[in-house]
Amino acid sequence: MSAERGTAANGQVSFWYAGSGVPLPANQLDGDAAADVCIVGAGYTGLWTAYYLARADPSLRIVICEAEFAGYGASGRNGGWLTNSITGGREGYVRSHGREAVVRFQDAMNRTVQEVMDVAAAEGIDADIVKGGELNVATNAAQLQRLTAYAEQEAQWPNADTQFLDAAETAGRIAIAGVKGGIWHPHCARIQPAKLVRGLADAVRRLGVTIHEGTPAVEIGPGAVRTTRGTVRARYVIRATEGFTAGLAGQRRSWLPLNSSMIVTEPLAAGQWEAIGWDGAETLADLAHAYIYAQRTADGRIAIGGRGDPYKFGSRTDVDGHTPEKTVRALGDMLTRLFPAVEGIGIDHAWSGVLGVPRDWHATVGLADDGVGWAGGYVGTGVATTNLAGRTLADLILGRTTELTTLPWVGRRVRKWEVEPLRWLAVKSLYATYNAADKAENRGRTTTHPVAHAADFISGKA
Ligand SMILES: Cc1cc2nc3c(=O)[nH]c(=O)nc-3n(C[C@H](O)[C@H](O)[C@H](O)COP(=O)(O)OP(=O)(O)OC[C@H]3O[C@@H](n4cnc5c(N)ncnc54)[C@H](O)[C@@H]3O)c2cc1C
């Protein structure tokens, strides 16, 4: 569809900068420097870490080295779901740490959503935040079967606060074509990602943190960050590079950079919104294996994302979010399949970004004895989790044992990804399998395609 119409903008980091303009890197490092804490990467992880450290101990000298500009990565490109998901799910942690630890983890994630909203309000960051909850929907029989099983599992976790909705109740919230049911929970807010990350960078600077943009790190190690513009020596060094981590010396196989792509429509007409509803600002996803995620933006558009071309050979990343036309077309087709009322609408912008995927698909945060810390591997659920990571890293650096530092994701180490071409083949086959399973299910298969289960297991997701 959009191929014929064309896409007004492609890449340029993301649509979320269309209003403000893409920032130019400022305050490059100029020679060697010293600090107490040096953080690499000015996305949400790096900025939240700096924010809580600076608040807790204003005397700390905190420096952030950022290759491009604050918010250049996924933090300035994401789907704007500020949600309470535990990356990788709860079951792995139940096996490793027991149920009580997971209840605490879920409580912490629930509170994190509110914490981000509270800090945004306190710091005067207007990021179009509306807490309308999260709605996951089934659009075919196999998805409904998964949704029902998911609802039964969620019911075992009272602090997940999920509600099962039948087809009519789901359509009453958002009129999705052929919707068969949904699950909603309240612990999610719709945000404008770039406004949050740029506002947070300003807040951090106000607290006395130095952000050196245009300063790529080449090597991160105990006591020092070597950049192309000088070396920063620091007692603590924090790696907050998430989906870009594979580009650092010695890190090629730690977190796999998985691509996610998005499009945004032109603003919908009033009649189209009347047909669709979506008055509650819920974030929206389906239960496909290669799922889509969406939000109604503050200015009345639909932003919708999905996996696109999932992985580039050798862990390469996109150039400023440029997105293949084939992906734009696929997302456009998905949009009109879900919302026939927008057939023919213009696509104003398409972009992509990378998220970091550990071998077991579970996020981690930690600080080693040599003073090198890290957080990431959030897969597609980092918008809220980065805040929990930032608060946890601050506690670890300050030597505090707290509720946060005892959560089950702290200090986890996972094995590395396979060497190429195995890594490339594995991800290509995983998503080819998912796409084939989704097609079969859309054609009428009533149960989950067995190859999708097998792919989950082989990839380390299950
Ligand atoms: C398209 C897309 C949609 C998403 N949607 C959602 C969503 O709706 N909800 C959700 O919870 N999560 C979502 N995510 C994931 C979420 O955005 C990320 O988990 C989160 O933003 C990670 O923040 P971060 O600070 O760790 O990483 P990033 O924001 O990627 O920041 C890393 C920073 O490090 C910098 N950097 C990289 N290499 C170097 C170097 N060598 N030296 C110095 N700096 C360097 C980069 O320029 C970047 O600014 C999405 C991700 C993408 C790509």
pLDDT in tens, the chain (462 residues): 333 456 789 999 999 999 999 999 999 999 999 999 999 999 999 999 999 999 999 999 999 999 999 999 999 999 999 999 999 999 999 999 999 999 999 999 999 999 999 999 999 999 999 999 999 999 999 999 999 999 999 999 999 999 999 999 999 999 999 999 999 999 999 999 999 999 999 999 999 999 999 999 999 999 999 999 999 999 999 999 999 999 998 898 889 999 999 999 999 999 999 999 999 999 999 999 888 999 999 999 999 999 777 778 787 888 899 999 999 999 999 999 999 999 999 999 999 999 999 999 999 999 999 999 999 999 999 999 999 999 999 999 999 999 999 999 999 988 998 888 888 888 888 888 888 888 888 888 888 877 676 666 656 666
C-beta 381 within 6 A of ligand 1: yes
C-beta 85 within 6 A of ligand 1: no
| CA of residue 290 relative to chain centroid, distance | 15
Question: Phi/psi of residue 235, each to 5°?
Answer: -65, -40
Question: How remote is the CA of residue 65 from the centroid of ligand 1, in Å?
Answer: 15
C-beta 77 within 6 A of ligand 1: yes
CB crowding 179-199: b at 16 or more within 10 Å, else e: bbbbbbbbbbbbbbbbbbbbb
Q: Give the atom of ligand 1 at the shortest distance from the alpha carbon of 243.
A: 30
Q: Could you say which DSSP state residue 10 is in? A: E
Cα distance between the two ends of the chain = 35
Atom 16 of ligand 1 has which residue's CA nearest to it?
382
In terms of Cβ atoms closer than 10 Å to its own Cβ (0-12, 13-18, 19+), residue 267 is middle
C-beta 65 within 6 A of ligand 1: yes
What is the distance between the alpha carbons of residues 417 and 187, in angstroms, rounded to a whole number?
32
Q: Which of helix, strand or coil describes residue 181?
A: strand
The residue whose CB lies within 8 Å of the most ligand 1 atoms, and thus the one to mutate among 228, 378, 387, is 378
Specify the amino acid at residue 30: D
What is the distance between the alpha carbons of residues 365 and 374, in angstroms, rounded to a whole number?
6
Q: Sign (positive/negative) of CA torsion 372, 373, 377, 380? A: negative
pLDDT of residue 438: 86
The residue whose CB lies within 8 Å of the most ligand 1 atoms, and thus the one to mutate among 24, 51, 78, is 78
What is the distance between the alpha carbons of residues 354 and 74, in angstroms, rounded to a whole number?
6
How many CB atoms lie under 10 A from the CB of residue 19? 10
C-beta 242 within 6 A of ligand 1: yes
What is the distance between the alpha carbons of residues 343 and 358, in angstroms, rounded to a whole number?
38
What is the distance between the alpha carbons of residues 253 and 259, in angstroms, rounded to a whole number?
16
C-beta 25 within 6 A of ligand 1: no
C-beta 262 within 6 A of ligand 1: yes
Q: Across the chain, how many H-helices and E-strands are there?
A: 12, 19
pTM: 0.96
Task: Answer whether 344's CB lies under 8 Å from 2's CB.
Answer: no
What is the distance between the alpha carbons of residues 26 and 212, in angstroms, rounded to a whole number?
7
How many CB atoms lie under 10 A from the CB of residue 316? 12
The residue whose CB lies within 8 Å of the most ligand 1 atoms, and thus the one to mutate among 38, 65, 75, is 75
Q: Which of helix, strand or coil describes residue 218?
A: strand
Task: With both helix axes pointing from N to C terminus, report the angle between 422-442 and 141-155 in degrees, rounded to the nearest 10.
Answer: 110
Q: Sign (positive/negative) of CA torsion 96, 99, 101, 107? A: positive
C-beta 377 within 6 A of ligand 1: no
Task: Answer whether 52's CB lies under 8 Å from 390's CB.
Answer: yes
Q: Which of helix, strand or coil describes residue 409?
A: coil
CB crowding 156-169: b at 16 or more within 10 Å, else e: eeeebebebbebee
The residue whose CB lies within 8 Å of the most ligand 1 atoms, and thus the one to mutate among 241, 311, 392, is 241
Q: Which of helix, strand or coil describes residue 331?
A: helix
Q: Which of helix, strand or coil describes residue 277?
A: strand
Beta strands in 317-358 (DSSP E): 347-357
For 305, the enclosing helix (H) or strand (E) is: strand 302-306
pLDDT of residue 457: 61
Q: Give the atom of ligand 1 at the shortest distance from the alpha carbon of 47.
A: 25
C-beta 214 within 6 A of ligand 1: no
